[in-house]
Amino acid sequence: MFIEKINKEVLLKPLQTVVGIVERKQPLPILSNVLIEKNATGIRFLATDLEIQISTEIKDAELAGSEESITVAAKKLQEILRVLPDNSKITLDIQDSRLLVKVLKSKFTLQTLPSQDFPKISEQLSNSTTIEIEQKLLKKLLGSVQYAMAQQDIRYYLNGVLLVIEGNLIKLIATDGHRLAYTSAKLNQEFTKREVILSRKTVSELFKLLSDNEEKITLELAEKQVKITFSDITLTTKVIDGKFPDYDRVIPSYTNHLNLDRQTILHALQRAAILSNEKFRGVRFVMTEKNMRIISSNTEQEEAQEDIENDYHGPALDIGFNVNYLLDGLSNANTQEITFSFGDSNSSILITVPGNEDFKYVVMPMRI
């Protein structure tokens, strides 16, 4: 017997951990499968798409035994387990290259492929830099920038997040060429500078897997690969090979600042967005003495207008931005007050948090 009378939840949790990177349609059929390995300490689950590999383990003496392994369709097994009654006791058996899933009076027979054909990613971690950071801090950093990643851009190095270790800082930067998000945090020791670009899929999966707790996570950063270990989970990923834009040059330095209540400006933009052009999503900021007017309109000649009184004392400005980009930054800046910094009517806007150098968000202007 491969696995005998294991609780449904115990089996489903590790499967859900690894199944996120599995695609149903793969160039190699075995990549749609999950590798399940029984060993001397318990049961290990592993999935890969040849760029990312995620593994996790159930360490349980009662499940341990002689080494056996099988690969089976990951999504199908997940769906079967998900719809079974809670607290079901499940038995897995291997017969004639099939996996039998048995519970109560139900039985499911799934096709398998040989485990020896499963393509594991080999480690390439020579001369790596190893850091430790709290899970909740890394999750916060990823959440502060991941929305600014490009999607399927031909500039492939933009389809991810730049992770920089320099001195006692960890920095994360994302840009799609129209906006740029930057965040940083202090580490507990000094490091020689190291940069890697994590793919969009890696960032998305890692963000989903991280917990909001103080448990440490270990990152090993090498030239071609990153290995991330936490909570019995190991994520190994290739890095994107390319030259990321010089983010320091993109982040402007302005003297014209405006402090606003984040919720006030967020809600005003949400309302203005309703009547913005569906294709271009533009809104205008008309800045005058002690007033910000937000204007949006669409091809049906409908218009929204919001006035926000404030302490603005800079030059009069009329400048347009993509409202979705502004909403992304404001929604992910977890603070009560926000600072808008302006140049002229042709310059980008810089969004920061008062008294905090760890978050910067730049949005390029657009013609409306």
pLDDT of 62 above 90: no
Q: What is the pLDDT of residues 214-254, one digit of tens each?
A: 999 999 999 999 999 999 999 999 999 999 999 999 999 99
Integer Cα distance of 62 and 68 in angstroms:
15
User: To the nearest whole number, what is the mean pLDDT of the chain?
Assistant: 95
pLDDT value for 363? 98
* Predicted confidence (pLDDT) at residue 368 exceeds the cutoff of 90: no
When mean pLDDT is compared across 19-33, 116-130, 304-318, 343-357, the lowest value belongs to 19-33
Q: What are phi and psi of 98, to 5 degrees?
A: -125, 150
User: Is residue 102 classed as helix, strand or coil in its secondary structure?
Assistant: strand
pLDDT of residue 27: 83
Q: In the chain, what are the domain boundaries?
A: 3-117, 129-249, 252-363
DSSP per-residue string spanning 204-241: HHHHHH--SS--EEEEEE-SSEEEEEETTEEEEEEPP-
Task: Indicate if the pLDDT at residue 61 is higher than 80.
Answer: no
Same fold? 3-117, 252-363: yes
| Whether pLDDT at 305 is above 80 | yes
> How confident is the model over 84-101, as a mean pLDDT?
92
Asked if 187 and 131 touch (Cβ cutoff 8 Å), the reply is: yes
Question: How far is the C-alpha of 152 from the C-alpha of 315, rounded, in Å?
Answer: 39
List the 291-297 sheet strands across, edge first. Answer: 303-309, 291-297, 282-288, 317-322
What is the model's pLDDT at position 225?
A: 97
In CATH, the architecture of 129-249 is: Roll (3.10)
Mean pLDDT computed over 107-125: 96
Which secondary-structure segment (H or E) carries 307? strand 303-309
The Cα–Cα gap between 296 and 240 comes to 38
Nearest to 112 by CA among 129, 125, 127, 95: 95
Q: Is the Cβ–Cβ distance between 101 and 110 less than 8 Å?
A: yes
User: What is the reported pLDDT for 1?
Assistant: 63
Q: State the Cα–Cα distance between residues 330 and 334, nearest whole angstrom.
A: 8
Is the confidence at residue 304, as pLDDT, over 80? yes
The reported pLDDT for the residue numbered 239 is 97
The per-residue pLDDT for range 128-170, each reduced to its tens digit, is 999 999 999 999 999 999 999 999 999 999 999 999 999 999 9
At residue 224, the pLDDT reads 95
pLDDT digits (tens, 9 = 90+) for 306-354: 999 999 988 999 999 999 999 999 999 989 999 999 999 999 999 999 9
pLDDT digits (tens, 9 = 90+) for 179-219: 999 999 999 999 999 999 999 999 999 999 999 999 999 99
What CATH code is assigned to 252-363?
3.10.150.10
Which CATH fold would you assign to the domain 3-117?
Answer: DNA Polymerase III; Chain A, domain 2 (3.10.150)
Q: What is the pTM of this model?
A: 0.94
